Homo-oligomer: A and B are copies of this chain.
């Protein structure tokens, strides 16, 4: 069973190492020897540890070679990854990939090619690194009805938010610390602006709800605007702020549909996700029969991600040895995506107000006009420090953001802070 490896960076080098080091174990588990046929890289001189005869700069030629059975892709990005994987699938090779961006952007093309060729397309490593999550969703829960997937799937932003929460630091300071420790890349846009989390949310929603979900279906908000004051506001209601990826099966106006979104949210400190610190990932899954499940572990890093790649590699190799094929794409349900405005959420808002009579009545009126019900309200401070802290019941996101716009325009409101959605609170 010969493997072509595309990419030999942080993850790829670990994949190559494990294939060699665990050679005997892998052979015993697969029923055939697993061998590296070649490794496609951009600059061969940068990989002095790899036997030179394995290295090539011609990825296209490598994936087309007749002596290659399986292709592992850890380059990332849309192109040339898509062209290479399509070539591999079309020539009857099974594919293992960690490429969340490509799967979220154009997974359908890859799935169709895999189905047509009767080969496997596995991608456990694309979401939450080493944590077995996609296989449980796709297989273990295949006889259940999943209603919700909610989790922390980006380590960089979780590190930044955890530091802000622990030290009171501002966003820039916490990000600088994450960068210096290697938790954030030189250009952290994909993490901070939640492109990474959004791609993962699309993949999770697709598996959970048997529906094709792409990047453009995902409502995306990053953490760049989160301030130390937001974190303090969260603390005042015994919450912390996390960047969440949320996939829900919901009842819309025209029947069942899917909400897929990623945004920062306050969650109660007692919620199990609140305790997930550092660069760890954790995902909650709720299903009708199974109840609540949680999966926790390292969501990134070379070795953890390589572990997920190797697990897939053993599976597709075993399928090939047995002459079979694993579960393919399941998108039969084809549920519509709910508009963000129609999504039911809760809001927290902290208003700096003039210390005068009628303030609470005026604010309450603004909520009532939009049909939004207030769960708790707290008046704090006097004089220049007067503020009104409100948490709403669940209402449509459109009504809630309209309410916040109204509130900030009221004459007695000086400033709105801590305007954040609230998730995971009891009584929703």
A311 touches B22 (CB 8 A): no
Q: A319: which B residues are within 8 A, CB to CB?
A: 324
Q: Which residue of B lies closest to A325 (CB)?
A: B322
Q: Which residues of B contact A303 (CB under 8 A)?
A: 288-291
How does the 8 Å CB contact mask read for A311-334 relative to B, with 1 for contact and 0 for none?
111110011001111010010110
Specify which chain B residues have a CB less than 8 angstroms from the CB of A18 in the assembled complex: 143-144, 289
Cα of A275 to Cα of B182 in the assembled complex, Å: 31
Report yes or no: B28 in contact with A307, Cβ–Cβ below 8 A: no
Count of A residues near B, CB < 8 Å?
57
Chain B residue contacts of A304, Cβ below 8 A: 289-291
Complexed CA–CA distance, A248 and B123 (Å): 29
Binary CB contact string for chain A from 280 to 300 against chain B (1 if under 8 A, 0 otherwise): 000000011111111111100
Across-interface contacts of A140 in B (CB, < 8 A): 124, 132, 135, 308, 311
Which residues of chain B have C-beta atoms less than 8 A from A293's C-beta? 130-132, 295-297
Chain B's closest residue to A28 (CB) is B332
Give A307 to B314 CA distance when docked, in angstroms: 26
**Contact indicator A25/B145 (Cβ below 8 Å):** yes
Q: Are B290 and A298 in contact (CB under 8 A)?
A: yes
Nearest chain B CB to A152's CB is how many angstroms away?
A: 13
A307 & B144 in contact (Cβ 8 Å cutoff): yes
Inter-chain contacts of A26 with B (CB < 8 A) = 143
Tell me if B309 and A143 are in contact (CB < 8 A). yes
Contact residues of A between 90 and 144, Cβ < 8 Å to B: 124, 130-132, 135-136, 139-144
Contacts of A308 in B (CB 8 A): 140, 290
Flag whether A5 is at the interface (Cβ < 8 A).
Answer: no
Are A311 and B28 in touch, CB under 8 angstroms? no
The answer, among B272, B290, B306, B325, for a CB contact under 8 Å with A289, is B306
Known: A130-B289, A290-B304, A291-B130. A144 touches B311 (CB 8 A): yes
A14 part of interface (Cβ distance < 8 Å): yes
Q: Tell me if A70 counts as interface (CB < 8 A to partner B).
A: no
Contacts of A144 in B (CB 8 A): 18, 307, 310-311
Given contacts A142-B29, A330-B29, contact A291 B297 (CB under 8 A): yes
A313 touches B143 (CB 8 A): yes
CB contact under 8 A between A139 and B135, given known A292-B298, A324-B322 = yes
Give Cα A319–Cα B130 distance, bound, in whole angstroms.
26
A210 touches B (CB below 8 Å): yes
Tell me if A145 and B296 are in contact (CB < 8 A).
no
* Given A140-B124, A330-B28: A296 in contact with B296 (beta carbons within 8 A): yes
Query: A309 vs B142: C-alpha distance in the bound complex, in angstroms?
Result: 10
What chain B residues lie within 8 Å of A313 (beta carbons)?
Answer: 143
- What is the minimal beta-carbon distance from A269 to any residue of chain B, in angstroms? 13
Task: State in angstroms the CA–CA spacing of A131 and B289 once bound together.
Answer: 11
Min CB gap A173→B, angstroms: 27
Q: Are B297 and A294 in contact (CB under 8 A)?
A: yes
CB under 8 Å from chain B, chain A span 21-75: 22, 25-26, 28-29
Known: A26-B143, A142-B314, A290-B303. 9 other contacts (CB 8 A): A28-B210, A28-B330, A29-B332, A132-B136, A142-B315, A292-B298, A293-B296, A294-B294, A294-B297
A: residues with CB less than 8 A from B are: 14, 18, 22, 25-26, 28-29, 124, 130-132, 135-136, 139-145, 210, 272, 287-298, 301, 303-304, 306-315, 318-319, 322-325, 327, 330, 332-333
Q: List 26 A–B pairs whose Cβ atoms lie within 8 Å, in order of A's numbering.
A: A25-B145, A25-B333, A26-B143, A28-B210, A28-B332, A28-B333, A29-B210, A130-B290, A131-B293, A132-B132, A132-B136, A132-B139, A132-B293, A135-B140, A139-B315, A141-B311, A143-B307, A143-B311, A287-B307, A289-B304, A290-B298, A290-B303, A290-B304, A290-B307, A292-B297, A294-B295
